Amino acid sequence: MIGRVWRAVTGWVSNVWSDIRASTDASLLGVARFVGLLYGPIDRSLRIDEALRKALKYRLAPHVGWRHVFGGITYLLFMILVVTGVLLSFYYRPSVEEAYPSVQHMASEVSFGWLIRDLHVWSANLIVLSVLAHMGRVFFTAAYKPPRETSWLIGLMLLFVVLAFGATGYLLPWDQWAYWTVTEVLDAMSATILLGGLATGAIMGDVIVSGATLSRFFALHVIVLPWIAFALLGYHFTLVRRRGVAPPAEVKETEDPWRPSAAWTVEELEKMDRGVPFFPHHLLRILVVVVLVIAVAITLAVLFPRPMADVASPYQLPGELVSTWVPVDVSLALIRYLGPWGFTAFTLLGLAMALLPLFDRSPERRLRHRPVAAVLGVTFFVGFAAAWIVGRQLRDVPPSERLPEVPSAVSDSVEPGVPLPDLGPTPLRPGDPDAERSRP
Amino acid sequence: MKRPGLGLIIALLGTAAPLEASPAVQPGTREPAIEQDSEYGCLVCHAEKRRTFTMGVHSERGIHCDDCHGGDPSSVEIAAAHRGRFLGDPTKLQTIELCSSCHSDASRMRQYGLDSGQLAEFRTSRHGQLLLGRGDLNAPTCTDCHDAHLILPPDDARSNVHPTNIPATCAGCHEDEQLMGRYGLPTNQFHDYRTSAHGIAVFEAANFAAPTCTGCHGSHAALPPGVTEVVNVCDHCHVLIGRALHQGPHAASAVNGDFPGCLACHSNHGTERIEPAGIAAVCTNCHEAGSRAAAVGVEIQEETVQAAAELAAAEQAIAELRLSGRQVSNEVFRLESALTSYRQMAVAQHSFDLAMMEDLSRGVRTNTSLVRATAEARAEQQWEHKLLLVPVWFLAFSTVVLVWFKFRDLRHQGRA
């Protein structure tokens, strides 16, 4: 018995050792294998080593450069959000009583809790900008044209997932700003026909934003949306790998010498000595971008921490309403200045832009020859930027008629008091010369 | 007992009730008591009195029209109903006699827990002196302040003498320029009161511990307090300030009537607060600018201004701490303690005890400095956070530089 165990162990060790000796390259793979120990036996059946080597030999078309970096940045920010989000969830407690104090606790007492929290807040803002930059690049260079229209659609779903993540996460700090912003946006939503009171009621789970809403938003934020996001990301990345990066606008896809089919092969590119190897060229670029994005996010988190308003109260409007998320700036600006229908109209404009690729299937990819797309795109992006700038200036509490109604109706019934009797104008005021004279 | 025509009365009552019944009347509460009373002939004609009278306490206690007005309530003809001991519309003097016939009867009022001294009090009031002494019919009688038929307890919000209604009730005459002009009285009291600390407490905070007109002047014994009485009037509520004043140098003058007590610095109906920065200026109203007394005023002002500034700074620090996501319950407790000392300073000012003032202002500073210490620690922490940027950007820049070298290397290889 002991002999059999001994033989098994020594056999396994000698296998690993021979693997290490057999490995002639001193690259990262060798290190991974050495540290991973079990790598050898598994690799023998799964051929991970070979797959990795193949992946590193992958070549990208020569025009692929810095402007293709935004998709990667988005993914990086998504991963930062996942990691910081998991760390936050160790301390966050999603209930009306505990949400606010638990955020206070992690922001002021947990070591580096402030950094994790502000990194999460800032990454949520940066991811919106990088998604839009990525989307803008794809839209204006017509990278969505066949055979890559599915990538565009999946990307679009990912955009909605990002917005849904932010919208649900926005309520979780449960302070006055979060509470009343969500109330106002849901109010605007319920005023439009497309979304309607029914959908808003289902999202809120109550007649006002309450504990039911908080539970819902938390569950969506940490359970439902991550699964959807990972599934869509997998699909998106697979499509990028299968279809390749779109060629430059001047090159007709059909005339592309190295793209006879939807996917081009490593061997083809190598044979024609076209393209830039992924390793080390692109990997180095990725390294620079990753380091810079993380540094920028940390800098923003350190210099501009998200302030906290008082704990949420449905009975009291906040003195001012500070927005801390880019789409909130944009939607508040739209709601305040254009009304709920302006908000809807802008959403429809975005939707039209998003759905254009489904109908725009001509092979023409130069922007000058695509006036409709250019006008739509420029209108949307300029409008977004303008609304963002306007929204940043907004600090006041909405002049909505519904907002003060709910709290006053409730507070009236709990605060006893007899109204000031209306006695009309006082006939004599001290220092009033006319009144002084009329006195006998 | 039964007389002919009784059926007719019942029939008339039966038709009269729905005719004038208002939607606010709830059937089955007070109305049946009178409907079932076959003696209520008065209401056949005086139906409009019925609504108000039945809402009041007299109706609840079984007092009927004829108890005050006389006549024969079982008759429905005018001549018959107004027969006998009939008073009709009583004059002001008759009203006083009428009301006091019950309300001055201590053994009758005992069961209701009511005081029976109203008439005695009224006799001492200016109103009573004018009406009873000089027969001046401009002076009010009972029913000018209390409604004649709608008799309600003072804690009923509909009553003329409910705290929120008393100022308006008094102002009904005291705002009448022509009427007050005859007695040389000002008419701005209500206006001043409304914006005063007392008025705001009553009207806006519904704090009925704050005085209305009657709180200082008395109700039935209404008179403006005399010079020596002012301190005692304010003392009712401002007990600690009154005690402090009596310990201080102003006590003797107030008792002797050399100066009008509290009114020397504060006004009567306006009761405006004297701001910390304005304390010394008030002293110079009586004392000469360079005098020793004026110097004490300056010293008190300095202590108070400094303490107020400390409090404001602490409040600001707490707001910033809260904004930065910190739990501030300890700091709020400190601020409350500082506020307590500050309010005690307001009391101590009236005794002109400088040693006590210094003690209390130290109490303010001790607490606010703890709040400030937390805020400073927080600011330092934020500065430390910024230091994190040094290693972060060092690493970032070195990575960029290294990659740049590597790229140069790669380009070199590509060319070679």
What Rg value do the Cα atoms of chain A yield, rounded? Answer: 29
d(CA B223, CA B231): 15
* Contacts A421 to B, Cβ<8 Å: 164-165, 168
Tell me which amino acid residue B125 is.
S
Which one of A286, A289, A299, A324 would you mutate to disrupt binding with B, by most B Cβ within 10 Å of its Cβ? A299
Tens of pLDDT, residues A122-177: 999 999 999 999 999 988 888 888 778 888 889 999 999 999 999 999 999 999 99
Q: Do A308 and B325 touch (CB under 8 A)?
A: yes
Chain B: which residues have CB within 8 Å of chain A?
157, 162, 164-165, 168, 171, 175-178, 181-182, 186-188, 190-192, 203-206, 322-327, 385-386, 388-389, 392-393, 395-396, 399-400, 403, 406-407, 410
CB contact under 8 A, A107 and B325: yes
**Rounded Cα distance, B176 and A439, in Å:** 10
CA distances from A27 to A9, A284, B184 (A): 28, 15, 107
User: What CA–CA distance (Å, rounded) separates B88 from B68?
Assistant: 9
Q: Does A418 touch chain B (CB under 8 A)?
A: yes
When CB atoms are compared, the residue of A280, A307, A421 closest to B323 is A307
Cα distance between residue B45 and residue B234, in whole Å:
50
List all residues 6 or more positions away from A192 whose beta carbon is below 8 Å from its beta carbon.
A340, A341, A343, A344
Residue type, B271: T
CA-nearest residue to B377 within chain A is A108
**DSSP string covering B203-242:** HTS--TTS--HHHHH-STT--PPPGGGHHHHHHTT-HHHH
Exposure string (b/e) for B113-122, b if CB count within 10 Å is 16 or more? eeebebbeeb
ipTM: 0.76
Q: Angle at Cα B298 formed by Cα B292 and Cα B300, nearest 5°?
A: 105
Nearest Cα of chain A lies from the Cα of B215 at a distance, in angstroms, of 19
Do residues B300 and B354 touch, judged by C-beta distance below 8 A?
yes
pLDDT band at A26 (very low <50, low <70, confident <90, very high): low
Half-sphere exposure of A396 (CA within 13 A, CB side): 6
CA dist B340 and B325 (Å) reads 27
For chain B, give the mean pLDDT: 85
pLDDT at A41: 59
A276 bridge partner residues:
A60
Which of A114, A302, A423 is nearest residue B389 as measured by Cβ atoms? A302
Best of A98, A118, A439 to mutate (most B CBs within 10 Å, chain B)? A439
Amino acid at A156: L
A313-351 tens-digit pLDDT: 988 888 888 888 998 888 888 888 888 788 888 888 888
Helix, strand, or coil (residue B270): coil
- Give the number of beta-carbon pairs within 8 Å between A and B: 108
Name the band, by pLDDT with cuts 50, 70 and 90, for residue A399.
Answer: low
Nearest CA in chain B to A276: B414
Give, to the nearest 10 degrees, the angle between helix A2-22 and helix A39-46.
70
If you write DSSP's letter for every residue of A215-255 in order, what string do you get?
HHHHHIIIIIHHHHHHHHHHHHHHHHHHH-PPPPTTS-TTT
Q: Which residue of A has its CA nearest to B408?
A: A281
Cβ pair A435:B323 closer than 8 A? no
In eight-state DSSP terms, residue B86 is B
Residue A116: pLDDT band with limits 50, 70, 90 = very high
User: Distance (Å) from the C-alpha of residue B311 to the closest C-alpha of chain A?
Assistant: 21
For an interface test with A, give the residue of B152, B407, B408, B413 to mutate (most A CBs within 10 A). B407
Nearest chain A Cα to B156, which residue? Answer: A418
Closest CB to B323 among A308, A420, A438: A308
Q: Are the Cβ atoms of A108 and B182 closer than 8 angstroms?
A: no
DSSP 3-state helix, strand, coil percentages of chain B (rounded to 5)? 65, 0, 35
> Are B406 and A423 within 8 A, CB to CB?
no
| Cβ contact B147:A409 at 8 Å | no
- C-alpha to C-alpha distance for A359 and A357, rounded to whole angstroms: 5
H or E element that contains A276: strand A276-277
Question: Are the C-beta atoms of residues A230 and A174 closer than 8 Å to each other?
Answer: no
Look up residue A159 and give its two tokens: 């955009």
State the angle between helix axes of A326-359 and A149-171 in degrees (0 to 180), rounded to the nearest 10. Answer: 160
Distance from the A431 Cα atom to the nearest Cα atom in chain B, whole angstroms: 10
Contact A435 B177 (CB under 8 A): yes
Express each pLDDT in B129-178 by its tens digit. 999 888 899 999 999 999 888 889 888 988 999 999 999 999 999 999 99
Identify which of A280, A310, A426 has the shortest CB distance to residue B410: A280
**Nearest-CB residue to B164 (from A104, A280, A421):** A421
CA dist., res. A172 & res. A189, Å (int) = 20
Q: How far does A253 lie from chain B, in Å, by closest CA?
A: 28
Contact assignment for B389 to A114 by CB distance below 8 Å: no
Taking the Cβ of residue A433 and every Cβ of chain B, the question of whether any pair is shorter than 8 Å is answered with no
User: Is B186 close to A107, i.e. CB distance below 8 A?
Assistant: no
Considering A31-35, A102-106, B205-209, the range whose residues carry the highest mean pLDDT is: A102-106
Chain A residues in contact with B157 (beta carbon < 8 A): 418
pLDDT at A268 over 60: no
Contacts of A324 in chain B (CB under 8 A): none
Rounded to two decimals, the pTM is: 0.70
Cβ–Cβ contact A395 with B under 8 A: no
pLDDT of residue B391: 96
Residues of chain A neighbouring B177 (CB-CB closer than 8 A): 427-428, 435, 438-439
Q: Which residues of chain B are within 8 Å of residue A280 when distances are taken between CB atoms? A: 406, 410
Contact B385 A115 (CB under 8 A): yes
- Residue in A with minimal Cα distance to B182: A440
Q: Do A423 and B182 touch (CB under 8 A)?
A: no
Question: Could you tell me the two tokens for B156?
Answer: 């009923």
Inter-chain touch B386–A303, beta carbons under 8 Å: yes
Q: Residue A382: pLDDT above 60? A: yes
CB nearest A440 (choices: B157, B181, B406): B181
Give me the mean pLDDT over the A45-73 stretch.
Answer: 76
Q: Which chain B residues are within 8 Å of A436, Cβ to Cβ?
A: none
Query: Closest approach of chain B CAs to the CA of A291, in angstroms?
Result: 6
Q: Which of A90-94, A268-272, B45-49 ranks highest by mean pLDDT?
A: A90-94
Residue of B nearest to A286 (CA): B403
Residue A209 contacts residue A179 (beta carbons within 8 Å): yes
For residue B187, give the chain A residue with the closest CA.
Answer: A428
**Do B204 and A420 make contact, defined as CB atoms within 8 angstroms?**
yes
Contacting residues of B for A427, CB less than 8 Å apart: 175-177, 187
End-to-end, the C-alpha distance of chain A in Å comes to: 125
pLDDT at A88: 96
Cα separation, B167 vs A135, whole angstroms: 70
- Gap from A415 CA to chain B (nearest CA, Å): 9
Residue B377's pLDDT is: 93
Q: Do B403 and A288 touch (CB under 8 A)?
A: yes
Of A107, A287, A299, the CB nearest to B389: A299
CB contact under 8 A, B191 and A426: yes
Residues of chain B with pLDDT under 50: 1-36
Q: State the DSSP code for B276.
A: G
Cα angle B235, B236, B237; round to 5 = 90
Distance between B47 CA and the closest CA of chain A, angstroms: 28
- Asked if A104's CB is within 8 angstroms of B325's CB, the reply is yes
